[in-house]
A and B are shown apart, each in its own frame.
Chain A
Amino acid sequence: MKNSSYFLNGLWKENPTLVIVLGTCPTLAVTTAAINGLGMGAATTFVLVFSNLFVALLKNFIPDKVRIAGFIIIIATFVTIVDLIMKAYTPALYETLGIFIPLIVVNCIILGRAEAFAQRNKIFPSILDGLGMGLGFTLALTLMGSFRELLGNGSIFNIKILSANAKTILLFIMPPGAFLTYGYMVAISNYIKSQLK
């Protein structure tokens, strides 16, 4: 595979949210507003790139039978470091993204990519894969957040789109709305895919 295809793979063909359906817990939980989707996506992309990098670097030093434990330690350490550094040097950014950071440790996409890609590939493709997957995740989450915020709150990125009197469907920013939106998004992306073939 060419380098660009490693990157594009995560964006569309194997989009972690719409195709692989990994990391659904943060996907459903935080997409109540577009900005949350973007924030979670950005934080995940950051961790994903570095965890892929470290797993690709260390893959030969970790025996197969303990690889999951090894990966988890690497990922958890990295997330904690990001957490501490953000708290210390970018407190304003931490205010907005802070609540998402601990959630990243349990995000299946990170471990999934370590297991399915980084431990079998060289360092550079692993970084590209992390970047592509992260951006794919960000894109899907931001889109989903925008839909839910628009339908449930009448705004996108906190900017009012509908008039203040417009009746919004509160259901969409509550948990059932997450499942509905998610289902429609997967269906629509599958439809588009079948048309492209």
Chain B
Amino acid sequence: MKKLESNLKNMFLSMLLICSVMAFALAFVYTSTKDEIEKANKEKEIQAVAQVLPKFDNEPVNEKYISDGLCFYPAKLNGKIIGIAVKSYSDKGFAGRIEIMVGFTTDNKIFNIKVMEQKETPGLGTKMTEPLFLNQFYGKNLENFKLIVKKDGGDVDAITAATISSRAFCDALSKAYNAYKNYISK
């Protein structure tokens, strides 16, 4: 077949056709993957909660509630609360939102942290997902651990060459802790 000539009618029709076909294709893929994506996200939530708290036997994701604008996931063993996971975020990152899941045990200590979403610089800010950075928070009670990077006078060892990312991480963690403190003092 010969190539279509570039007149107004041809250009209009071919662009109209391409755009509508592509729009339909996108709409189709979007609707057919929507449920799967939701399922995958829920699975991710369940896994994150399981990672940041000690062993529990209920389903915290189904019992989640919102306090101070953050999601709380209560974990119970034999009907007794053994810890609460809090999903927190910060918009102060180097590139986009950072989302973390923090697990607090009943003695108000951090049990574990998982970074759920971040778009920081690969190789620099992304190190916030690695144990080398995260280990410093485990088992800490934030009452006596100043959640500010050392450069700004706090107790946190920032990631080399990624101070902004480290600050954002601390911001998300402080949010989680403040919401948690508010909640348990109620």
For window 50-91 of chain B, which residues contact chain A by CB distance below 8 Å?
A: none
Q: Return the contact of A60 from the options B1, B6, B124 (Cβ within 8 A).
A: B1
Q: What mask results when residues 86 to 126 of chain A are scored 1 for a CB within 8 Å of chain B, else 0? A: 01110100000001000000000000000000000000000
Describe A's contact surface by its main secondary structure: helix
Interface residues contributed by chain B, number (CB under 8 Å): 32
Q: A62-B14, A85-B33, A91-B44 are in contact. Are A32 and B26 (CB under 8 A)?
A: no
Do B18 and A84 have beta carbons less than 8 Å apart? no
Q: Is B184 an interface residue (CB 8 A)?
A: no
Q: In residues 112-155 of chain B, which contact A (Cβ within 8 Å)?
A: 119, 121-124
Query: Which residues of A in the span 161-188 have a Cβ within 8 Å of any Cβ on B?
Result: 170, 173-174
A70 x B6 contact (CB < 8 A): no
Contacts of B122 in A (CB 8 A): 29-30, 32-33, 36, 99
A80 close to chain B: CB less than 8 A: yes
Find A88's partner among B19, B33, B44, B160 (CB 8 Å cutoff).
B33
- A170 CB contacts on chain B under 8 angstroms: 160-161
- CB atoms of B40 and A91 under 8 A apart: yes
Are A153 and B123 in touch, CB under 8 angstroms?
yes
Question: Inside 8 A of A36's CB, which chain B residues have their CB?
Answer: 122-123
A65: Cβ under 8 A from any B Cβ = yes
Q: 3 shortest A-B CB distances, which residue pairs? A: A32-B123, A88-B36, A88-B33
Binding site for B on A (CB under 8 A): 29-30, 32-33, 36, 58-66, 69-70, 73-74, 77, 80-81, 84-85, 87-89, 91, 99, 148-149, 152-153, 170, 173-174
